[in-house]
Amino acid sequence: MTKEIQKQEVIVTGFGGQGIVLAGKILGMAAALGDHKESTLVQSYGPESRGGACCAQVIISNRIIQYPYVKTADALICMSQSAYEKYKDQLKPEGYLITDRDLVTPDGCREFFDIPATRMAEELGRKMMANIIMLGFVTAITALVSKAAAQEAVQSSVPKGTEEMNLKAFTKGFEYGVSKLKGKEKKATGQIGVTS
C-alpha cells in the first residue's frame, strides 16, 4: 500500500479468545503513536465473547477520521471460517485478504495471503500468540504500519513479562510475510524453480 493513500480501512475478525480486539488495538496504536497518523478502533462481539464472533474495525488515515466504522475494507484479516463468511463481501476487489491457513478456507474467488498462525503459535508453546504472529504477517504484507511502530505497540500492549516472547512471535510472522512476498515476486517474474 502506497504512502499517497490517505485512508486505509481494516477488519480483523475471528472468534472470541483469539485476541482479535488486541490485534486491532495494537494496529491502531502503531499507526497513531509510532507512525503519527490518525486511527480509530471499533470492536464488536457475538453473543458469547469466548468462542463467539468477534471483530475489530481499524481505520488508519493521514487526516482526521470523521466516521469510525469500516464501509469497505482495504484489508480483511480472518482467523475463523465463520468470520470470513460474514465479512468477505466487505472487502474491496483490490483489497488484501489475509487468513489463518488452518482455520479459513477462502472460496477461491480472489487472491489471498495465508499463514498457519495458530500452528506457529502452538510450536512456540503459546497458542494465545497467534494474533501477534498474524500481526507480524499483516505488517509485512500490507505495510499498513511500519515494523518499528508495530513492534513498539506490541511491547507496550502485551502482559508484563511476555514482551520478549511476543516480539519473537511478531518477528516470526513478519519474516514469514517477507518470504511469502519474495516467493510471489519470483513467481510473477517466472523464476520459480530456477537455480542461481
* Averaged confidence pLDDT in the chain: 90
In this structure, are residues 78 and 14 in contact, taking their beta carbons and an 8 Å threshold?
A: yes
Those residues with Cβ within 8 angstroms of residue 51's Cβ, 6 or more apart along the chain or in another chain: 15, 16, 17
Task: Give yes or no for residue 2 having a pLDDT over 50.
Answer: no
| Closest listed residue to residue 138, CA positions, set 80, 177, 106, 104 | 177
In this structure, are residues 31 and 20 in contact, taking their beta carbons and an 8 Å threshold?
A: no
The confidence band for 4, taking pLDDT boundaries of 50, 70 and 90, is low
pLDDT tens per residue across span 117-154: 999 999 999 989 999 999 999 999 999 999 999 999 99
Q: How far apart are the C-alpha atoms of 131 and 127, rounded to whole Å?
A: 9
Check residue 30 and report its DSSP letter: I
Q: What's the grid cell of residue 112?
A: 489471498
Neighbours of 159 (CB within 10 A): 8
pLDDT tens per residue across span 185-195: 887 777 655 44
For the domain spanning 7-188, the CATH number is: 3.40.920.10
Alpha helices in the chain (DSSP H): 20-29, 81-87, 117-123, 130-142, 147-157, 163-188
75 alpha carbon, distance to own chain's centre = 8
* Whole-number pLDDT of residue 88: 94
Q: What is the DSSP string of 128-154?
A: GGHHHHHHHHHHHHH-SS-HHHHHHHH
Domain ranges of the chain: 7-188
| Closest listed residue to residue 18, CA positions, set 103, 113, 89, 86 | 103
Beta bridge partners of residue 76, listed in sequence order: 11, 97
